[in-house]
Chains A and B, each alone.
Chain A
Amino acid sequence: MDTTVLQAMPVSASSPPGSARPSPWVWLHRVSGYTAQATVDPADRLDFERQLQWLRLTFLCAPWLILFAFGHQVVASALLISVVILASYGWVWALQHYDQPKLLRYQLGLRLVDCLLVFIVLTNYHAFLHDAYYDAVYILFVVAAAATHGRRGAIVLGAASGVASLLGRLLLIRAGTMPFAQRHITDALFYTVFFTITGLAVAYLMERSAQVVERRDHQWRAALAERNQELERTAVQLRAANQELEAFAYSVSHDLRAPLRSIDGFSQVVLAKYGPQLDAGGQHYLERIRAGSQRMAQLIDDLLRLSRLTRTPLARQAVDLSALASEVIEELRQGHPERIVQVEIAAGLPTEADPRLLRVVLENLLGNAWKFTTAQPAPRIELTRHWGDDGEAVYVVRDNGAGFDMAYADKLFGAFQRLHSASEFEGNGIGLATAQRIIHRHGGRIWAQGAVGQGATFFFTLGIHSPTAFGDRRNG
């Protein structure tokens, strides 16, 4: 009869599975800003962008530092590098402070700045050491620009650079500062094509890596959806199981009690009508039949109550534990007026729990303490609270009654487990199982300590951690 309904919670979308090292192309795609858009978390997005800008700076500044230093253009290089740094950090700042329309304008501005820088680099022909280095610089530059502006940026930059280089060279040739005009025009045409192709190549590589990332993303989402479906199926099964349980409990309450009533009733009638014809033994056995059927009725009621506890939803609210305990003790006193028991309940114990269910726990624990101190000359029951290590409230019910053997402590909370015979103390062993069920539903723990003849102490928590949650302060 022990079933709990799982809350079918879907796996959160914050961390994709598969921590295999991504290929370099995937890495390129990641830093291009595509993944930055797919990421939901704004802190993640900023992180991406910062990494992006570091990449950009590395690709742009390092070669230029060398280029312009070698070309003895320190001032120009310093200026250009400052512009690049400002632009990059400006972009990260803009992401944090600008909304979408302004961001687009800022991005456009960045692209224009990049184009201008390319133009300057390309037309500064004489500053370059040799063509091969120039080409390498250019490729790095296109990659860096693609990182900021994506695929389209790479293509545009490639083509624009090609055209700019052609124009630049033509201008220089016109100005007459370049000998071997014929050769330079060929070069210029070659470089135009080369730059455009580079731009296209970078764009193509980014496209491929985008596909890889998208496929992986799709796989991950499919796995997520499947997992959620599985959980949903489980939830449906559990709901059905719970409904069956409820129907079962309902039929138990009707169908099992009726025959018991017959057993009890007719044995009573036999006793009443034919008792004189029976000897003492016969009458005694009839009494035991009646006692058995009544005991079974009690068991059925207890089981029904226990099963109902898992079915009703938990309604957590502020509850005064001291007041509730006092009420329970008052009921016990009224039920057994002949007994004098000293009861100490710590004042003002506010807590958060379902008041009906908490009452059942207290009825069980205090009722047990009441019951097992029957043989004690000076019975005493205490309810206090102390604070656990992590600020958890631990409630303590202590009595100086019959106690129990710690060797059987783990059996204490099992349903129908008893550590005393029925002749010593009445009961059917389900009270503590009920209390444990309720405590667990609240997210708490329950355990006990005791010694034979020296009383028992029961500890329980209700999953409440902060000592200051209810305006309470720790003492000392």
Chain B
Amino acid sequence: MVTDKVILLIEDNPDDEELTRLALTESKIGNRLNVARDGAEALSYLFGDPMLAPPPQLVLLDLKLPKVDGLEVLRRVRHDPRTALLPVVILTSSDEERDVVEGYRLGANSYVRKPVDFADFVEAVRQLGLYWLVVNYPPPETVR
């Protein structure tokens, strides 16, 4: 069921977290949103007890995170066979070439620059949700 699938948002900024939540609501995306507020929390979620932390259908990853950096999280996620195929979308303010290159090189599925304009942000989130939760065929549950 569509609503079973969980979206993991890894974001340290509470304002951005709130806005993402509002954007998802605005786009009528009803999936549960779990939030990890820094890199260490994100890793403990992804590699922790599946009963407490259900594996997500989609991961929205910010790059500038405290404790463990976003790219490092991505590297570890791709390294572990349990999470290697997990769809990860980098959602960040930066459009620095080195971040884009490194993000793709480490195996991100997509790179999205967060727009300042809220209307654009809502539209971007809507498109992301529609694509990754509905249109895209996810990797099988057992491999994850």
Residues of A within 8 A of B (CB): 250, 253-254, 257-262, 264-269, 290, 293-294, 296-297
Contacts and interface: CB of A to CB of B under 8 A. Distances in A.
Nearest to B23: A265
A254 B93 contact: yes
Contacts of A258: 13, 15-16, 93
B15 A261 contact: yes
Interface string B57-96: 0000001100000000000000000000000000011111
A264 B96 contact: no
Contact of B96 (A253, A257, A296): A253
Contacts of A267: 118
Contacts, number: 59
A297 B95 contact: no
A290 B64 CA distance: 25
Interface in B108-124: 114-119, 121
Contacts of B19: 261-262, 265-266, 269
**Among all A-B residue pairs, the 8 with the closest Cβ atoms:** A297-B116, A262-B15, A268-B118, A265-B118, A265-B19, A257-B93, A254-B93, A260-B116
9 contacts: A253-B93, A254-B64, A257-B114, A258-B93, A259-B15, A262-B13, A264-B117, A265-B22, A266-B15
Contacts of A253: 93-96
A297 B118 CA distance: 12
B11 to A, nearest CB: 10
Contacts of B119: 268
A259 B116 CA distance: 9
A297 B64 CA distance: 19
Contacts of A257: 93, 114, 116
A204 to B, nearest CB: 69
A454 to B, nearest CB: 37
Interface string B40-70: 0000000000000000000000011000000
A426 to B, nearest CB: 16
Given A250-B94, A254-B64, A258-B15, A265 B114 contact: no
B22 A269 contact: yes
B116 A294 contact: yes
Interface in B8-56: 13, 15-16, 18-19, 22
Contact of A262 (B16, B92, B95, B115): B16
Contacts of B93: 253-254, 257-258, 261
A418 B35 CA distance: 45
Contacts of B64: 254
A261 B94 contact: no
Contacts of A266: 15, 18-19
B125 to A, nearest CB: 11
A253 B96 CA distance: 8
A350 B92 CA distance: 41
Contact of A269 (B92, B115, B118): B118
Given A266-B15, A266-B19, A269-B22, A261 B96 contact: no
